Amino acid sequence: MSTQMAREVAEQPTAVRRTLDALLPQRQEVRDLARGRRRVLFAARGSSDNAAIYGRYLLEVHAGVPGGLVSPSVATHYRSRLDLSDAVVVSVSQSGATEEIVSTQEWARGCGAATVAVANVADSPLVAAADLALVTRAGPERAVPATKTYLTQLVAMAAFGTALAPDPTALDADLDHAVGEIERLLAEGAGVDDAVATLLTADYAVVSGRGLLLGTALETALKLEETCLRPVRGYSYADLRHGPISVVTEGVTAVLVAAPDGPLLPAMTELAGDLAARGATTVGIGGDPRFAAACAVHVPGPDSPETLAALGTMVPAQLVVEALARELGLDPDNPRGLAKVTSTDPSHLRKEHR
């Protein structure tokens, strides 16, 4: 039986195309808003935070603009007064109603920042209060795990990041190609069954990625943990290398996420070999033929440059998560104990869940 999550994953090519069509024409507005400001800060939680990590890397690597992440508690609890007059603050929330993020955006404006809202609901409080809104076109998402809303957030990050690049249109052909790659990966589903079989018998799993694919790795770990109820840790490549790698032994499955090119691919390939030597079973998503050969199980990713590989690479990861949940006898549409909106602080703040 088809799940709601599977149906929404399948809707992603259309959702991505609609979002590209809506947001790419707004790039001049982004440039106008950011004129005279030196840095960009992102405010988000859950899956939206993982999308923001991609946005930060894209800004710094492709556009040459310093980026960072806001800690919402600095605004909502510590109530620190910072000078943000040189900053654009991008607040990311699927619903646009997450009180913590709405409050953080209000705080940022009070500190002098220009504000941009990224949300999937046009009439939401976050959108209404922002200087500029980038409204994604995912359509209603009924399954609890964020799939098409997350992917369209990545599209919003791409629209924003390319807007501030010296040539805003430099990646346009690749963005158009990315839609076709998402369609192809959905149709083929290559390697998904083998990855599910491997994760089904894992005692423990770790997920790792690096650079522009770090957010994808963290989102994959989050989806495995919340949807499949498995013990999973998401690590950056560097964090895994600095200590936690010592606990990777036989019985551990390591899911490694890589782009098909870029300066970090050789290191991810080397990591696959090192983890295998420690007894781990490695599942690779994306990468190139050498990366695939270094992994015990391989799930192909998109034929997209590293700058945009996050958009396509998330799709096979979603397919693995949905199928694994069903194999475990779980309902991927309604994971136990989760809801679209949960409490960060039960007393008054609400946080958008994944």
Residue 280 DSSP label: P
Alpha helices in 189-254 (DSSP H): 192-200, 214-228, 237-241
Give yes or no for a contact between 224 and 321, defined as CB atoms under 8 angstroms apart: yes
Q: Which two tokens stand for residue 251?
A: 């019985």
The CATH architecture that domain 4-184 belongs to is: 3-Layer(aba) Sandwich (3.40)
Residue appearing with tokens 């913590």: 100
| pLDDT on residue 71 | 94
pLDDT per position in the chain (354 positions), as tens? 589 999 999 999 999 999 999 999 999 999 999 999 999 999 999 999 999 999 999 999 999 999 999 999 999 999 999 999 999 999 999 999 999 999 999 999 999 999 999 999 999 999 999 999 999 999 999 999 999 999 999 999 999 999 999 999 999 999 999 999 999 999 999 999 999 999 999 989 999 999 999 999 999 999 999 999 988 999 999 999 988 898 888 989 999 999 999 999 999 999 999 999 999 999 999 999 999 999 999 999 999 999 999 999 999 999 999 999 999 999 999 997 666 654 466 554 444 444
Residue 296 phi/psi, 5-degree rounding, is -70, -35
Residue 25 burial by CB count (10 A; 0-12/13-18/19+): exposed, middle or buried? exposed
The CATH architecture that domain 185-327 belongs to is: 3-Layer(aba) Sandwich (3.40)
| pLDDT on residue 244 | 86
Residue 169 DSSP label: T
- Distance separating alpha carbons of residues 56 and 160, to the nearest angstrom: 10
- Distance separating alpha carbons of residues 228 and 244, to the nearest angstrom: 22
- Distance separating alpha carbons of residues 214 and 101, to the nearest angstrom: 22
Q: Which residues pair with 225 in a beta bridge?
A: none
Residue appearing with tokens 């997209």: 304
Residue ranges of the chain assigned to CATH 3.40.50.10490:
4-184, 185-327
Q: Which two tokens stand for residue 159?
A: 């629209």
Residue length, the chain? 354
User: Could you give the maximum distance between any two Cα atoms of the chain, in Å?
Assistant: 54
Q: Which two tokens stand for residue 160?
A: 């924003």
- The three-class DSSP label of residue 256 is strand
| pLDDT on residue 340 | 61
- Distance separating alpha carbons of residues 203 and 293, to the nearest angstrom: 24
- Distance separating alpha carbons of residues 62 and 164, to the nearest angstrom: 9
Q: Which two tokens stand for residue 110?
A: 């009070």
Angle between helices 309-327 and 192-200 (to 10 degrees): 50
Q: Which two tokens stand for residue 231?
A: 């013990």
Helix (H) or strand (E) holding 246: none
Q: Which two tokens stand for residue 104?
A: 């953080």
Residue appearing with tokens 């990224």: 118
Residues 6+ away with beta carbon under 8 Å from 159: 19, 20, 23, 24, 26, 27, 30, 134
Residue 299 phi/psi, 5-degree rounding, is -115, 115
Residue 167 DSSP label: S
Residue appearing with tokens 């405010």: 43
